[in-house]
Amino acid sequence: MDIASYFNYWIVIVLMMLGFYIVIARGNLVKKLIGLNIFQTSVFILYISAGKVSDGAAPILTEGVSVYSNPLPHVLILTAIVVGIATTAVGLALVARIHEAYGTVEESQILEQDNAC
């Protein structure tokens, strides 16, 4: 049980925390979305890592192979990726409209303008 064998999961944790931190700490709306994407990507990696079976081949029926990786997480995560793209698209559309309405994508300046009126 050496630490290196959990390499994937360490990556997941690092990416997840990075993404989460960016979402929370950044005031730029576009950067927040980027953070959100990183956060989601970490989850994709988590799923795919879970689907890997040691010494398993790609889940395609072939002669001479008896151990396959689990294909279901891949399928699931394809769906999740689509969802993630949709979210990003809606988010970016909103940011574009916010930019039209406020002339900025900085959270602090938007708040200022809202408080002013």
Partner 1 sequence: MLSHLPILPVLLPLLGAPICALLRKPVAAWLFACTVALLTFAAAIALLAQTWQQGVLSYALGGWAAPWGIEYRIDLLNGLVLTLVSGMASAVLLGGRASIWRETPEEKRSLFLVAFLLCLAGLQGIAATGDAFNLFVFLEISSLSTYALVATGRDRRALVAAYNYLIMGTIGATFILIGIGFIYMLTGTLNMMDLAQRLPALTESRTAFAGFVFIIVGVCLKLALFPLHLWLPGAYTHASSMVTVFLAATATKVALYVLIRFSFSVFRLEFSTLALPLETVFLTLGIVAVFAGSLVAIYQPDLKRGLAYSSVAQIGYMVIGVGVGTVIGLQAALVHLFNHALMKGALFMALAAVVYRVGDGKFSSLRGIGREMPLTCACMLLGGLSLIGVPGTAGFISKWYLVVAVADREQWVLVALILAGSLLTAVYIWRLVETVYLGVPGPRQVPDSPAGRAEAPPGLLAVSVVLALANVYFGFDTRLPVEAASGAAESLFAAGQP
Residues 69 and 55: their CA atoms lie apart, in Å, by 8
The nearest distance, CB 60 to partner 1, in angstroms, is 19
The answer to whether the beta carbons of residues 59 and 68 sit under 8 Å apart is: yes
The answer to whether the beta carbons of residues 8 and 73 sit under 8 Å apart is: no
Mask 23-52, x = binds partner 1 (CB under 8 A)? x-----x--x---x--xx--x--xx--x--
Q: Which residue in 6, 78, 97, 109 binds partner 1 (CB under 8 A)?
A: 97
C-alpha distances out from residue 111 to 32, 51, 82, 94, 105, Å? 16, 44, 32, 16, 11
What is the contact surface with partner 1 in residues (CB under 8 A)?
20, 23, 29, 32, 36, 39-40, 43, 46-47, 50, 73, 76, 79-80, 83, 86-87, 90-91, 94-95, 97-98, 101-102, 110, 114
